[in-house]
Amino acid sequence: MPPDLVALPKVELHVHLEGTIAAETAVRLALRHEEDPAAVLPLVNGGYPERFESFESFVELYLAVSRQVRTPDDLYTVAASFARKQAAQNIRYTEATFTAVTHLRNGMEPAAMWEAVRSAIAEVPDGTTINLIVDSVRNLGAQHAEDTIRAVESADAPIVGLGLTGVEGSVPEREFKMLREEADRMKLGLAVHAGETGTAENVRAALDDLGADRIGHGVAAWSDGSLVDRLVRDATPVEVCPSSNVVLGVFPSLAEHPFPHMWASGINVTVNSDDPPFFSTTLTKEIEHVRSAAGLSVADIAELQERAAAAAFAPDETKGALTAAIGSWRKAQA
């Protein structure tokens, strides 16, 4: 019998809050603001495309959807829906990436913004936790990072990390050294997207120039044997998002995704959904994808979730509770 992945207590480290907006929700938000959805949202037959023509076309649609989040009420709607969906999947712990400065630059008042997110993600059952990683966008430059740091300093929200996202190669990683310094000062983790549409050198720069605690995506590392050896040696957590990589054209299909090789090599991989409605997926589906592709056993699946718990920017008590819950699932499956 296949393992019961619905009952599996899950941990997700790489999911973008704005990337959880379903197409129908984006349409409703546009109508709420008396906009013509067809004019402001480049949808395909009212939904997201099965495949994106390029990373740039994905970013264009992603930003168009994000622009429909104009008020704290809009943000509450999005975040509360996200929180409910995480809880429904039995995702016990989530670190959601939130691009706060986008909303601030669009005119949202800071205190109201944080209140909307904080109250929305608190509406989950006991035993479910959602924390935030507030990200800076590479291609918007160092000033975006400085603004992000200031926003985090004044925030009343469950923030556990800083992040760096955006277009790889647009601005050198070394320009964002302040993120490492400020993360250390504020006792936060640092997660850096690298090696998604970029190269193995972007992963190296994330490690060498920024001291990243975790690598988002990181699949380009597989092409570089010495980097693979380093990731294995240092047990660096790598947040892999298979469906995202396929829908964005990084790999032609799930069958050609390197996850099975990364797993077999000993890289400290975790599995995540990234922007689930954009890629027609969920965390549960992603775990099934890698289970099938890599022939994972019940013990392997439990280990994947235990790795994610260990890599979380969370207190040891939280990690211990997550690991115990995952262990109970493993025993029940056996």
What is the rounded CA–CA span in Å between residue 334 and residue 329?
Answer: 9
Choosing from 182, 196, 239, 288, the catalytic residue is 196
Q: What is the pLDDT of residue 334?
A: 84
* pLDDT tens-digit series, residues 255-277: 999 999 999 999 999 999 999 99
| Beta strand pairing call for 10-16 and 159-165 | unpaired
Bridge partners of residue 16, in order along the sequence: 97
126: pLDDT confidence band, cut at 50, 70 and 90? confident
For the question of residue 24 being annotated catalytic, the response is: no
Range of the domain at 303: 11-333
Asked if residue 4 belongs to a domain, the reply is no
Q: Report residue 53 as tokens.
A: 């023509």
Residue 57, judged by CB atoms within 10 A of its CB (0-12, 13-18, 19+), counts as: middle
CA-based max dimension of the chain: 54
Asked if residue 1 belongs to a domain, the reply is no
Asked if residue 6 belongs to a domain, the reply is no
Asked if residue 161 belongs to a domain, the reply is yes
Asked if residue 318 belongs to a domain, the reply is yes
Asked if residue 86 belongs to a domain, the reply is yes
Domain count along the chain: 1
Which domain CATH number covers 230? 3.20.20.140
Give me the sign of the Cα torsion angle 113, 160, 19, 88.
negative
* pLDDT tens-digit series, residues 166-208: 999 999 999 999 999 999 999 999 999 999 999 999 999 999 9
* pLDDT tens-digit series, residues 11-29: 999 999 999 999 999 999 9
Asked if residue 187 belongs to a domain, the reply is yes
Q: What is the 3-state secondary structure (H, E, C) of 40-81?
A: HCCCECCECCCCCCCHHHHHHHHHHHHCCCCCHHHHHHHHHH
Mean pLDDT value of segment 131-147: 98
Q: pLDDT > 70: what percent of the chain?
A: 100
Following DSSP, what letter does each residue of 280-315 receive, concatenated? T--HHHHHHHHHHHHT--HHHHHHHHHHHHHHSSS-
Asked if residue 278 belongs to a domain, the reply is yes
